[in-house]
């Protein structure tokens, strides 16, 4: 089913458009319910530790390929710490792991990191890319959203308490309706906060705009984002006409649109002095019409809220007038063939740098087929069986021998499997801008680990600020220790993002982003050398090394490596840096240690996760 030629699917799709066949007749793997997969029986001599390894090992054996050797313990520990917390391990943590030679040493570290509040900060960032999170409203005026952080902090808490993904989804799509349905004497304000997911859409505050036009644009964005984040579908392609490739009619698009037309924006008080961006149900729902060729001024037939029946055989039982809560329950139904697959694929992406389905945003007919379809289905079913526990799935994957493999490229596979689709090794991943910045602050010993709260405003040129808001409003940069908080808490301006992060491929907050681009450019190298955050962090580390190990360049070099890349330097690295240190010291003694630290902070190893 997974490998049927696209030509057959395309022909079947044409017949679906003509009404000759049903959606169930379209043989596309993602529209079929995940099959319960039997774990392959593979010899444990091949390093099999978990069902993940069994599926990967079975495929490698059929291809006549052996898996890679395990990464060394220090590299593995740095990989695990960066993946789970977005921060490098501290020297004391490395020493504790290196000194623990018991069989369960690694698993204990996994549990420690999963239970760290830093886990929620790291994994919330991934979801916020999908939520198109920002602290401003967008468009030319780009007005401030002073309470956006309330939603961001809810996402962090959700990950840290391992809220089931099904409930996580229900609350974001229809938290306001759950609030009414589950009303207690006080009610749960988190439900209203969670519903702020779709308040992250852009809103236009310019004078002279057509309010009706931009109201429609906002609803279209909500439809498209829901399709991307939960279903892995390019749902927005059906706004102007029926989808060219997937069985989604234009009528179904506007039936989906109608779910959001029943709500209106609301800003309830959720704590003393704290407001949340949320929704409430309209007393009288707006009528929804098909927009002929996507033009909101040209109304076609009137439609009512309805599900996407073309991409799944699931027929959710719902009242005659289904609500967003019914939609949310349809999305997270265990019988929905897309939701669990899309969710586990996202988790896999962040642990291997590439999803089992590489087109994370498109599980439709034009998307790539999964590299390991049986594993994807097994993971989807296991995810649901575990109560949609994200920590359970992450634990399962990071404890696998597949995850622990060395990332070293093997010459015999460079032509046979250049993209490492077969997973005969781990992938080397370039760190995101947020992780690089946080790593530099951590290495310098100045990272502020305050959890949650309003965003801080890093320094930005006044003329750049003015351009970002067309002079409509201005702000004052923050000062002091708050500037060294994690990048998750940096103020996100849509029109003028802080210059540091876009250089390192920050997600565009104007649209849902399932996977970031990864580049390696001269501008990034110049930023690492000259940006004040990296320069100040290097100076701070140099000062600490000078105080801890005065007059001992070799020990200073060793400690710099341990803080920046988690290991001791190799002999040749020590020799070269000692030589440089002496050369600079003869010219300008005050800069010798700083320059040495800068070099270590600019190593390729510092910028990548092996």
What pLDDT score does 81 carry?
98
Average pLDDT estimate for 152-166 = 98
User: Looking at the predicted structure, is the pLDDT value of residue 1 above 50?
Assistant: no
Average pLDDT estimate for 71-79 = 97
DSSP codes, 127-146: HHHHTT--SB--TTT--B-T
CB of 335 within 8 A of CB of 317? Answer: no
Among 29-43, 347-361, 422-436, which stretch is predicted with the lowest mean pLDDT?
29-43
Average pLDDT estimate for 425-431 = 97
Tokens standing for residue 581: 């240190």
Instruction: Give the whole-angstrom CA distance, residue 538 versus residue 485.
Output: 17
Does residue 323 or residue 183 have the better pLDDT?
Answer: 323
The pLDDT tens digits for 194-253 are 999 999 999 998 888 999 999 999 999 999 999 999 999 999 999 999 999 999 999 999
CB of 242 within 8 A of CB of 23? Answer: no
Instruction: Give the whole-angstrom CA distance, residue 494 versus residue 135.
Output: 8
Average pLDDT estimate for 469-491 = 87
What pLDDT score does 472 carry?
64
What pLDDT score does 519 carry?
95
The confidence band for 376, taking pLDDT boundaries of 50, 70 and 90, is very high
User: Looking at the predicted structure, is the pLDDT value of residue 330 above 80?
Assistant: yes
What pLDDT score does 310 carry?
82
What pLDDT score does 187 carry?
73
DSSP codes, 532-563: HHHHHHHHHHHHHHHHHSTT-HHHHHHHHHHH
CB of 552 within 8 A of CB of 560? Answer: no
The set of residues, in sequence order, having a beta carbon less than 8 Å from that of 456 and lying 6+ positions away, is 478, 482, 483, 485, 489, 490, 491
* CA distances to 6, 245, 263, 433 from 198, in Å: 34, 27, 11, 25
The confidence band for 317, taking pLDDT boundaries of 50, 70 and 90, is low
The pLDDT tens digits for 14-53 are 665 565 555 555 579 999 999 888 999 887 666 678 999 9
Nearest to 447 by CA among 78, 125, 88: 88
Q: What angle do CA 480, 541, 454 make, to 5 degrees?
A: 30
Among 22-26, 116-120, 576-580, which stretch is predicted with the lowest mean pLDDT?
22-26
3-class secondary structure, 485: strand
Nearest to 516 by CA among 414, 433, 426: 433
Nearest to 233 by CA among 242, 221, 246, 219: 246
Nearest to 559 by CA among 572, 542, 537: 542
Number of H helices and E strands in the chain, helices first, is 25, 8
What's the burial of 38, exposed, middle or buried (CB within 10 Å: 0-12/13-18/19+)? exposed
The set of residues, in sequence order, having a beta carbon less than 8 Å from that of 479 and lying 6+ positions away, is none
DSSP codes, 413-436: GTTTSTT-TT-SS---EEPPHHHH
CB of 282 within 8 A of CB of 264? Answer: yes
Give the torsion sign (CA, 10, 16, 20, 23): positive
Average pLDDT estimate for 361-388 = 97
The confidence band for 3, taking pLDDT boundaries of 50, 70 and 90, is very low
What pLDDT score does 2 carry?
45
Nearest to 17 by CA among 274, 204, 249, 185: 249
What pLDDT score does 318 carry?
60
User: Looking at the predicted structure, is the pLDDT value of residue 408 above 50?
Assistant: yes
Spell out the domain ranges in the chain. 73-115+338-427, 164-331, 430-513, 527-609
Instruction: Give the whole-angstrom CA distance, residue 94 versus residue 563.
Output: 10
DSSP 115: T
User: Looking at the predicted structure, is the pLDDT value of residue 300 above 90?
Assistant: yes
What pLDDT score does 563 carry?
97
The set of residues, in sequence order, having a beta carbon less than 8 Å from that of 184 and lying 6+ positions away, is none
Q: What angle do CA 318, 343, 366 make, to 5 degrees?
A: 90
The pLDDT tens digits for 270-299 are 999 999 999 999 988 899 999 999 999 999
Neighbours of 111 (CB within 10 A): 12
User: Looking at the predicted structure, is the pLDDT value of residue 460 above 90?
Assistant: no
The set of residues, in sequence order, having a beta carbon less than 8 Å from that of 346 and lying 6+ positions away, is 126, 130, 355, 360, 514
Average pLDDT estimate for 450-460 = 94
What pLDDT score does 314 carry?
66
User: Looking at the predicted structure, is the pLDDT value of residue 520 above 60?
Assistant: yes
What pLDDT score does 45 carry?
61
Arithmetic mean of pLDDT over the chain: 92
What pLDDT score does 471 carry?
64
Tell whether pTM > 0.85: yes
Does residue 588 or residue 26 have the better pLDDT?
Answer: 588
């Amino acid at each position: 089913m997974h490998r049927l030629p696209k030509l057959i699917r395309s022909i079947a799709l044409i017949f679906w458009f003509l009404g000759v066949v049903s959606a169930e007749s379209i043989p596309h793997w993602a529209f079929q319910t995940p099959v319960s997969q039997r774990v392959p029986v593979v010899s444990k001599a091949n390093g099999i530790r978990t069902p993940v390894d069994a599926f990967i090992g079975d495929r490698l054996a059929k291809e006549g390929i052996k898996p890679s050797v395990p990464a060394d313990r220090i590299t593995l520990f740095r990989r695990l710490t960066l993946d789970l917390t977005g921060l490098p391990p501290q020297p004391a943590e490395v020493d504790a792991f290196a000194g623990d030679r018991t069989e369960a040493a690694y698993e204990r570290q996994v549990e420690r990191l999963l239970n760290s509040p830093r886990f929620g900060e790291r994994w919330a960032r991934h979801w916020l890319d999908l939520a198109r999170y920002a602290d401003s409203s967008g468009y030319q005026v780009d007005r401030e959203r002073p309470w956006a952080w309330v939603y961001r902090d809810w996402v962090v808490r959700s990950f840290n308490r391992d809220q089931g993904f099904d409930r996580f989804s229900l609350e974001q799509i229809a938290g306001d309706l759950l609030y009414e349905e589950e009303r207690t004497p006080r009610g749960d304000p988190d439900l209203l906060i969670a519903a702020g997911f779709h308040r992250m859409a852009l809103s236009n505050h310019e004078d002279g705009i057509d309010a009706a036009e931009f109201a429609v644009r906002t609803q279209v964005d909500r439809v498209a984002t829901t399709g991307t984040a939960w279903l892995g579908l390019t749902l927005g392609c059906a706004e102007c006409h029926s989808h060219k490739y997937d069985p989604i009619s234009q009528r179904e698009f506007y039936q989906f649109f109608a779910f959001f037309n029943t709500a209106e924006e609301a800003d309830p008080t959720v704590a003393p002095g704290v407001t949340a961006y949320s929704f409430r149900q309209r007393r009288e729902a707006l009528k929804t019409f098909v927009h002929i060729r996507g033009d909101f001024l040209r109304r076609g037939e009137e439609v009512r809220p309805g599900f996407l029946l073309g991409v799944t055989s699931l027929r959710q039982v719902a009242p005659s007038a289904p609500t967003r809560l019914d939609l949310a329950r349809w999305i997270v139904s265990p019988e929905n063939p897309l939701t669990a697959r899309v969710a586990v694929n996202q988790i896999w992406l962040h642990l291997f740098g590439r999803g089992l389905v590489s087109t994370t945003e498109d599980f439709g007919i034009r998307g790539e087929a999964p590299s390991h379809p049986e594993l994807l289905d097994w993971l989807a079913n296991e995810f649901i069986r575990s109560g949609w526990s994200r920590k359970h799935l992450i634990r399962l994957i990071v404890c696998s021998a597949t995850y622990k493999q060395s990332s070293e490229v093997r010459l015999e596979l460079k032509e046979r499997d250049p993209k490492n689709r077969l997973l005969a090794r781990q992938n080397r991943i370039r760190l995101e801008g947020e992780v690089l910045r946080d790593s530099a602050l951590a290495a310098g010993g100045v990272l502020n680990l305050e959890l949650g709260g309003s965003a801080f405003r890093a320094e930005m040129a006044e003329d750049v600020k003015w351009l970002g808001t067309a002079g409509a409003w201005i702000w004052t940069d923050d000062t002091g220790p708050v500037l060294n908080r994690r990048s998750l808490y940096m103020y996100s301006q849509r029109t003028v993002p802080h210059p540091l992060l876009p250089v390192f491929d920050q997600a565009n907050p104007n649209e849902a982003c399932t996977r970031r681009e990864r580049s390696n450019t001269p501008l990034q190298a110049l930023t690492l050398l000259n940006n004040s955050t990296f320069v100040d962090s290097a100076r701070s580390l140099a000062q600490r090394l000078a105080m801890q190990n005065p007059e001992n360049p070799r020990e200073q070099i060793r400690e710099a490596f341990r803080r920046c890349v988690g290991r001791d330097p190799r002999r040749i690295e020590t020799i070269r840096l000692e030589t440089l240190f002496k050369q600079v010291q003869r010219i300008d003694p005050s800069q010798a240690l700083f320059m040495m630290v800068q070099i270590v902070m600019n190593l390729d190893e510092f910028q990548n996760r092996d």
